[in-house]
């Protein structure tokens, strides 16, 4: 279900740095975080999303998340933007 949200989204941002930046700008609706990502990599995204009261959705696979975004590599985080 969550992977479908990404593939159906009109606009999204891939990657931790870009996700944090978008969260701070206030234009993120939801953040998807891969459970198999390194906790040190996603920690800032998770904390920023919680601070900004943005819904966090955990998915099981970086590879599947990347594929849902249309990229050849795994994605640790994806932000669905307005």
- The CA distance from 64 to 51, in Å, is 27
Which domains are delineated in the chain? 3-81 (3.30.1330.30)
pLDDT band of 1, cuts 50, 70, 90: low
- The CA distance from 74 to 82, in Å, is 23
- The CA distance from 68 to 65, in Å, is 5
**Reported pTM:** 0.91
Tell me the CA distances in angstroms from 1 to 32, 40, 49, 58, 65, one per residue in order.
12, 26, 21, 11, 11
8 or 54, greater pLDDT: 54
- Asked if 80 and 9 count as a contact pair (C-beta separation under 8 A), the reply is yes
Q: Convert the pLDDT of each residue in 10-24 to its tens digit.
A: 899 999 999 999 999
């Amino acid at each position: 279900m969550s992977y479908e949200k990404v593939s159906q989204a009109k606009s999204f941002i891939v990657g931790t740095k870009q996700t944090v930046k978008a969260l701070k700008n206030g234009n993120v609706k939801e953040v998807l975080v891969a459970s198999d990502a390194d906790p040190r990599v996603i920690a800032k995204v998770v904390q920023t999303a919680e601070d900004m009261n943005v819904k966090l959705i955990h998915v099981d696979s970086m590879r599947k998340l990347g594929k849902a975004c249309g990229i050849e590599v795994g994605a640790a985080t994806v932000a669905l933007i307005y």
